[in-house]
Amino acid sequence: MGTVGKAISLLELFTVDQSELGLSDLARRSGFDKATTRRLLVALTARGFIEQDATTRHYRLGAGLSRLARIREARFPFLQTAVPLVRDLATTTAETVHLSEFGIDRLVTIHVEHPARANRVNVDIGQLLPMHSTASGIAYLAFARDETVKACLAGPLDVFTAHTLTEPDAISRSMSEARERGYSISDQGLEEGVISVAAAILAADGFALGTIAVAAPKSRTTAADIAQRGLAVVAAAREISMRLNGDNLQTLRRQA
Amino acid sequence: MGTVGKAISLLELFTVDQSELGLSDLARRSGFDKATTRRLLVALTARGFIEQDATTRHYRLGAGLSRLARIREARFPFLQTAVPLVRDLATTTAETVHLSEFGIDRLVTIHVEHPARANRVNVDIGQLLPMHSTASGIAYLAFARDETVKACLAGPLDVFTAHTLTEPDAISRSMSEARERGYSISDQGLEEGVISVAAAILAADGFALGTIAVAAPKSRTTAADIAQRGLAVVAAAREISMRLNGDNLQTLRRQA
DNA sequence: AAATAATGGTTCAAATAATGAACCGACATC
DNA sequence: GATGTCGGTTCATTATTTGAACCATTATTT
């Protein structure tokens, strides 16, 4: 591994739970010599990729990363790109369509289109969706990094309804099915009487970045509706992924 | 410069305007050999810090940066906390409001709200602001660590306009005034015809962490406007500091 | 349509930077 | 006061980085 790779793998030791680490700790976790670790940290600190706490002497991720990430995001306008397609999908399905982006350990709802009818599923912008019990969550996990999947299924999995899946095996099976057919289905996993389909929106690296989902009252939803919405949601997700990544989207090689 | 520094300085060549660059271009701008540049890009690509467009072969900032930036922001929810207040301030002032965070030796613009009018001050996300010649810079220095202040005023202080202050004494005086009234004023220090007010956002240790500023065309700005915006910007900065730190914000004991 | 000058990408001996065992002083247990 | 940990440093040895010269393509220019 080159020096650059080593420096980056130091950065990757930081997680939400382990957001501040000491020198010896970093050396141990990375497997690099303490002197090497320190030299890398100094180089990273000089460019603002790492900050050091003045009192504890511990290291944390720096503001330089945020700056570059924002430059990237300025060019990578997820919301702007996706909203027109969310709107189209809402028109054709006449049901609630919502768009989510992954944040830390849940999906964050960043846009919603509601149909103009009284009996509908209501979703709010900013609402957080659990990963294991929503169509969006399963669709995301089906195309997420292994470590992300592991992290999301590690914690206690809340039970929301009698239909909520909490067995890791059952959840894995849902993910496999989602990978095969392209979209996930959640039958009242989060709320009684609500059935949803969702598809993952992929980043250029082939991993999921967010999801688009259609949620409807189960009472008026047939199996044919589900299949039709599934295809529509996959088409929308594909289109968003393509507009975001150009034709540069790498297909994710993945064990089924 | 070490290899890590070189790799990062490659990343820093990307801006909002220049978000995709070719190999030769990157080599030219960085001053590194083409082979070196390429080797660094390959290393960065392997870790997702850089992505390469499949067709144009051009390089751009990668998703790995966004991921790490999110981890940082999870412990440090500066943006999320501040953006609503930036937005409010933009609405009430009807002028450009920008939010900055300190990085290494300058302020980094991390969010901007522009008013819906043609004649306005334009600021880009990711833009770097010098410390001595902007309202934000002075507001930051007024509540920065002594060593930071010294470091920022040590280097050569660029002259941007006929109004740019470059005498350390004059700058110190601006800082004192900013401390007294709570906000700083920059009258065309960076660009002719632009007048700004800014206030520091404080971390839990009482030292500045970033700033919030209102920038407007001088031609339509009265002394009363400045005073009013000053109070508004101070209120916003206080509110952001409080939300970030809870009620355990230490008041900075400081020589006036 | 031929000539020219870009482009992205590769090679390998020479130059340079990275490495790590041993070391230091400071702090905390034991 | 002995022992273990911490963050940080040193310097001879070692391995990586470097860059001029080299392709093959793809625009430009004449």
Which of A's residues 38-77 have CB atoms within 7 A of nucleic strand D?
Answer: 38, 52, 57-58
Mean pLDDT is highest, among A121-130, B124-133, B174-183, for B174-183
Tell me, what amino acid is at B218?
A: K
What is the distance in angstroms measured between the alpha-carbon CA of A256 and the sugar C1' of C11? 40
Is the distance between the Cβ of B108 and the closest atom of strand C smaller than 7 Å?
A: no
Residues A108/B73, Cβ–Cβ less than 8 Å? no
Give which of A20, A42, A65 to mutate to test B binding, by max B Cβ within 10 Å.
A65
Helix intervals (H) in A107-204: 135-142, 146-154, 168-181
| pLDDT value for A116 | 82
- Looking across all nucleic acid strands, the nucleotide with the smallest C1' to CA distance from residue B26 is C8
Looking at chain A, which residue has its C-alpha nearest residue B104?
A48
Q: Which of A18, A56, A61 is nearest to A41 (CA)?
A: A61
Percent of chain A with pLDDT over 70: 94
Q: Report pLDDT digits (tens) over A186-243.
A: 999 998 889 999 999 998 778 898 999 999 998 898 888 899 999 999 999 998 988 8
Residues A44/B5, Cβ–Cβ less than 8 Å? no
- Specify burial of residue A217 (Cβ count, 10 A radius: 0-12, 13-18, 19+): middle
Q: Please state which CATH number belongs to domain B3-67.
A: 1.10.10.10
With an 8 Å Cβ cutoff, are A16 and B73 in contact? Answer: no
pLDDT(B144) > 90: no
CA distances from A106 to A22, A81, A82, A110, B149 (A): 28, 22, 19, 12, 40
Residues of A in contact with B55 (CB under 8 A): 246-248
pLDDT(B245) > 80: no
The pLDDT mean for chain A works out to: 86
Q: Do domains A3-70 and A76-245 have the same CATH topology?
A: no
Range in A132-146, A172-186, A240-254, B125-139 the model is least confident about:
A240-254
Tell me, what amino acid is at B235?
A: A
Q: Is A139 helix (H, G, I), strand (E, B) or coil?
A: helix
Q: ∠ CA A19-A20-A26 to the nearest 5 degrees?
A: 110
Is the distance between the Cβ of A4 and the closest atom of strand D smaller than 7 Å?
A: yes
Residues of A in contact with B75 (CB under 8 A): 16, 19-20, 60
CATH architecture of A3-70: Orthogonal Bundle (1.10)
d(CA B32, CA B11): 13
With an 8 Å Cβ cutoff, are B14 and A68 in contact? Answer: yes
Residues of B in contact with A144 (CB under 8 A): none
With an 8 Å Cβ cutoff, are A4 and B9 in contact? Answer: no
d(CA B32, CA B34): 6
What is the distance in angstroms measured between the alpha-carbon CA of A24 and the sugar C1' of C30? 22
Give every strand in the sheet of A194-202, ordered side by side: A128-129, A106-113, A96-103, A208-217, A194-202, A184-187
Residues of A in contact with B103 (CB under 8 A): 48, 62-64, 67
- How many residue pairs bridge chain A and chain B with CB atoms within 8 Å of each other? 158
Q: Which residue has the higher pLDDT, B17 or B140?
A: B140
What is the distance in angstroms measured between the alpha-carbon CA of A24 and the sugar C1' of C19? 17
| pLDDT value for A22 | 94
Cβ density class B23-39: b for 16+ within 10 Å, e for less: eeebbeebebeeeebbb
d(CA B52, CA B42): 9
- Looking across all nucleic acid strands, the nucleotide with the smallest C1' to CA distance from residue B1 is C17
CATH class of B76-245: alpha beta
Cβ density class A117-143: b for 16+ within 10 Å, e for less: eeeebebeeeeebbbbbbbbbbbbbbb
| pLDDT value for B153 | 83
Residues of A in contact with B106 (CB under 8 A): none
Nearest by CB to A16, which of B3, B74, B126?
A: B74
Is the distance between the Cβ of B52 and the closest atom of strand C smaller than 7 Å?
A: yes
What is the distance in angstroms measured between the alpha-carbon CA of A107 and the sugar C1' of C28? 43
Q: Which of A182, A189, A252, A187 is nearest to A211 (CA)?
A: A182
Strand partners, A59: A21, A52
The pLDDT mean for chain B works out to: 86
Domain residue limits, chain B: 3-67, 76-245
d(CA B208, CA B145): 8
With an 8 Å Cβ cutoff, are A73 and B62 in contact? Answer: no
Q: Which of B236, B201, B198 is nearest to B85 (CA)?
A: B236
Q: Report pLDDT digits (tens) over A45-77.
A: 999 899 888 778 999 998 889 888 888 887 777
- Residue A253 pLDDT grade (very low, low, confident, very high; cuts 50, 70, 90): very low
d(CA B4, CA A252): 29
- Residue B79 pLDDT grade (very low, low, confident, very high; cuts 50, 70, 90): confident
